[in-house]
Structures are given as C-alpha cells and as structure tokens.
Amino acid sequence: MKWMKAVLCGVLLGVTGAAVSGDEAREKPLDYMQGVMLETTGASPWYRVELSPLLYQGTAWPDLRDVRVFNHQGESVPFALLVQKAQPVTPEAMTLRLFPLQMSPVPPREEGRRGGESLVLRSTTGIEIHLETDDARALGQSYLLTLPADKTDAFALAQLRLNWESLAANWQGKASLYSSRDLKYWRSVQE
C-alpha cells in the first residue's frame, strides 16, 4: 500500500511539474520598448545585418544582451553577434612650440563685470590672451603651446606630456588646458 502512495505522489508531481513548465511565458516583440523592422532580400536561413548606431544608444547593456530578433510571426529567432575588432591606432607624437606668458590682472569695470576676474597673458612676441577666471591669484606660470604650421587637419588629443629640464624632488603641479582657433575665444579642455 505504501508503494502505491509513493507511485501516485510521483505521478502527481510529474504532471504538476509538466503543467508548470508548459506555462513558460514566451517573449513577444511587444515586451520590448522599441523595435526596428529588418527587411531581407530573398529567402535564406542565414542573414548578416549591420546594426544601426541607434541600436547601441538604445540598449541598456554594452554587450547587447537585451536585444532580441523576432520573425514575422512574432517568434523569437536565435541570433549571434559578431564583434569586429578595431584596428589599433598608433599615436602620433608631435613637438609643440612653447611660449612663456607674463600675467597681468585687468582692473574690473563695474558695468561690464561678469563675476570672474580678468587677466591678460602676454608673450615676448606681442601675443595677448584675455582670460576670465575665478581666482587669478591661484594661477602660476602660463605657457602658450602652438601646433606645427603644417598641422591643419583635425586630430584627437589623447595625451599631453611636458618634459621639464630640472625639477625639485617630488614636484607636483596643477595644469589647466584651454584651446582656441583664433586666440580670442578660449574654451576649457581639461582642468
């Protein structure tokens, strides 16, 4: 009698387990916030599709784990993502010309004052740079770095290395980097 109860319990658990696993919710296109229609040419079991940059902006994960592909009947289709290896870019070193600048504060004008302090940086060759800063007294030595004359195309600055001839032991400094195309309007690049 005990063995019949054990068999009956086993059968009931098996049927219940099968019923529960059969109720698995299938993913549908409407489960996702946004979708894009893929149009393919011809009938083939395999397609290679280039992903739009908008897809990368709309995903929550960099590895695209929240992206799914559905067929026209709304069924999930297996897919694989191929990551293309980017060619390594070799950095190009260039020597910049360095001009030391002398700083002199500009007296504030009450009617046109913006809230910061104005100062003028002058080179020995006559170049003047007008800057607005929050604290002109905190500024130390300033330099104007110029690109070579033949460097007219745009480039990405990745690193600025300054080689000083002689420094005190454990010398540390703070640098602010500004850029300008016309020496009149300056924008902060890095603090």
Global pTM value: 0.45
Better pLDDT: 139 or 22: 139
* Same-domain pairing of 106 and 144: yes
Residue 160 covered by a domain: no
The answer to whether residue 166 sits within a structural domain is: no
pLDDT at 114: 58
> What distance in Å separates the CA atoms of residue 17 and residue 22, rounded to the nearest whole number?
9
Helix or strand run (H / E) with residue 65: none
Do 71 and 138 sit in the same domain of this protein? no
pLDDT tens for each residue of 161-190: 877 777 777 777 777 888 888 878 888 877
pLDDT for the residue numbered 142: 82
Whether residues 125 and 64 share a domain: the answer is no
Where residue 9 falls (left for φ over 0; alpha for ψ -120 to 50; beta otherwise) is: alpha
Whether 60 and 115 share a structural domain? no
CB 178 within 8 A of CB 187: yes
pLDDT band at 16 (very low <50, low <70, confident <90, very high): low
Ramachandran angles phi, psi of 15, nearest 5°: -65, -45
User: How many angstroms separate the CA atoms of 84 and 110, rounded?
Assistant: 59
- Both 38 and 62 in a single domain? yes
CA distances from 91 to 111, 158, 162 (A): 48, 8, 16
Cβ–Cβ < 8 Å for 146, 96: yes
Share of residues in the chain with pLDDT > 90 (%): 0
| H or E stretch covering 182 | none
* Residue 123 and residue 76 in one domain: no
Together in a domain, 38 and 66: yes
Write out pLDDT tens, residues 134-167: 776 667 778 888 888 887 777 777 788 877 777 7
Q: Tell whether 132 and 70 lie within a shared domain.
A: no
123 and 55, same structural domain? Answer: no
Q: In terms of domains, do 53 and 108 share one?
A: no
The whole-angstrom separation of Cα 66 and Cα 61 is 7
What is residue 187's predicted lDDT score, i.e. its pLDDT? 82
CA-angle at 180, arms to 172 and 166, nearest 5°: 25
Q: What is the mean pLDDT of the chain?
A: 76
Show which of 60, 84, 108 is a domain's final residue: 84
Q: Are 189 and 178 in contact (CB under 8 A)?
A: yes
Contact between 116 and 131 under an 8 Å Cβ cutoff? The reply is: no
Chain centre distance of CA 90? 20
Distances (CA, A) of 72 to 38, 43, 46, 67, 88: 10, 13, 15, 16, 40
Question: Which residue, 61, 84, 107, sits at the end of a domain?
Answer: 84
Number of domains comprising the chain: 2
**Nearest to residue 121, comparing CAs of 130, 112, 113?**
130
Each residue's pLDDT tens digit, 23-73: 467 888 888 888 888 888 888 888 888 888 888 888 888 888 888 888 888
Q: Is the pLDDT of residue 111 over 50?
A: no
Average pLDDT, stretch 6-12? Answer: 51
Domain range enclosing 42 = 28-84
Q: Which of 84, 111, 126 is the last residue of a domain?
A: 84
Q: 114 vs 156, which has greater pLDDT?
A: 156
